[in-house]
């Protein structure tokens, strides 16, 4: 056994942020924006549970939610015709 302390890397928080940004960029394909945004929300939630990553995870979840909303908005404008 090792006495080395492990430090958590903010990989999930960065993944949440990246997925949210890609979801916003992909709003022209609403299903892609929804899937990427949902994946960003899940990754952000998992990262939020770790104390050192809470703020970045909150930002990632917010950006992911905006990506979902952008996809919903574009989908509704297509359906409204």
Tell which residue, 71, 79, 59, has the closest CA to residue 28.
Answer: 71
As a residue count, the chain comes to 81
Give the pLDDT of residue 1. 53
User: Could you tell me the mean pLDDT of each successive run of 10 residues in the chain, 81 residues long?
Assistant: 64 95 94 96 94 92 96 94 79
Give the pLDDT of residue 9. 83
Give the pLDDT of residue 81. 79
The pair of structure tokens assigned to 81 is 């015709």
Q: Is 3 exposed, middle or buried (0-12, 13-18, 19+ CB in 10 A)?
A: exposed
Give the pLDDT of residue 52. 85
Whether 52 and 76 have beta carbons less than 8 Å apart is answered as no
pTM: 0.86
> How many Å apart are CA 62 and CA 66, to the nearest integer?
6
Domain boundaries, the chain: 11-80
């Amino acid at each position: 056994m090792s006495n080395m302390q492990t430090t958590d890397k903010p990989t999930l928080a960065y993944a949440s942020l990246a997925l949210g940004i890609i979801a916003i960029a992909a709003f022209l394909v609403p299903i892609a924006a929804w899937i990427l945004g949902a994946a960003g929300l899940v990754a952000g939630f998992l990262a939020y549970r770790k104390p050192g990553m809470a703020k970045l995870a909150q930002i990632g979840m917010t950006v992911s939610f905006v990506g979902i909303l952008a996809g919903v908005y574009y989908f509704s404008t297509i359906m409204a015709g």
